[in-house]
Amino acid sequence: MKRASDRINPIPILAALAMALALLSVAGCQPTSPADDAFVVADLFATPGKAIVTPALSPTPAPDATNQGGLAPTPGPTLPLPTGVVLQQPTQPIGTFGPPPSPEAPLLLTPVACNAPPMPFTPVWQNIEQAKALMRCPVGGVEEVRGVFQRFEYGVMFWRESDKSIFVISELRIRQGDQTDSWWRVADTFREGEPEGDPALQPPNGLLQPVRGFGKAWRSNAFIREALGWAVGSEAEVSSLWQHFEGGWMMTGPGGNPIYVMAPLDDPPYSSGIHLGPLP
């Protein structure tokens, strides 16, 4: 049997446990150092990060009839006619001519010292300085050239029998105030048995569709149609007077009137040039 002195006293043990808990509580309240913060996992997400914005790209608009790659549409011919193959040329293709002088850039007048050409070209050469500057001195005498003539809304066509070539003389820019206008020389490729015209093309009242060689050139070349418009009369056989000069030639219309001053812009046999319009 144990003695009362041998029994364990619980009071000291409880006191030691209380002291240990008190020390642990004090240790948990001590502040941590900055170095310790770097390892606190919760702090890595305390401040929200920057949001990454992905720009939304608008789709490229599809080209339409009014915006082909940002370029304005090129206007088409005003006459509702088909455009065919450009006719053969004596020298170079049609349309390679240079721009004619504008009213703001008058023709350079160079003094000409030579004899005047014979009639009916004398008055034009003597009295119109631009004509004298373009033509300079006459070469040889007057020649009679047979052919066919037709008038249009904005000019004329002349078919020269000697070489079967067609001279297209536009007056459109001169009527709009320019000093000069353009002419072209095209090959007559019409052959007997070909359609003389196009029944599907109906001109406005009072106007005509050209036929045969004139019609083929007119229908096959949009720039000729634009430069001349519709025919205002039928073809007529004529004898035209021609006078050659150092700078070109003068020619007469039906019955000797009007007179055209024709200056080429290329080498013989000539395919394009400028003229001063129908002169009295």
Of 114, 111, 117, the closest CA to residue 129 belongs to 111
Of 149, 170, 131, the closest CA to residue 241 belongs to 149
Alpha carbon 42 to its chain's center: 70
Of 236, 274, 272, 276, the closest CA to residue 260 belongs to 276
pLDDT tens digits for the chain (280 residues)?
A: 444 445 555 555 555 555 655 555 545 445 544 444 443 333 333 334 444 444 444 454 454 544 444 444 444 333 333 333 333 333 333 333 333 334 444 455 555 689 999 999 999 999 999 999 999 999 999 999 999 999 999 999 999 999 999 999 999 999 999 999 999 999 999 999 999 999 999 999 999 999 999 999 999 999 899 999 999 999 999 999 999 999 999 999 998 999 999 999 999 889 999 999 999 8
Q: Are 158 and 166 in contact (CB under 8 A)?
A: yes
| pLDDT score recorded for residue 12 | 56
Alpha carbon 257 to its chain's center: 37
Rg for the chain, CA atoms, rounded:
48
Number of H helices, E strands in the chain: 7, 8
Of 155, 130, 165, 121, the closest CA to residue 270 belongs to 165
Strand partners, 167: 158, 185
Dihedral (CA of 178, 242, 183, 278) sign: positive
Q: Are 250 and 260 in contact (CB under 8 A)?
A: yes
| pLDDT score recorded for residue 8 | 54
| pLDDT score recorded for residue 7 | 52
| pLDDT score recorded for residue 113 | 80
Beta strands in the chain (DSSP E): 138-152, 155-160, 165-170, 181-187, 236-245, 248-252, 259-264, 272-275
| pLDDT score recorded for residue 204 | 95
Strand partners, 241: 144
Cα separation, 193 vs 198, in Å, equals: 14
| pLDDT score recorded for residue 62 | 52
| pLDDT score recorded for residue 159 | 97
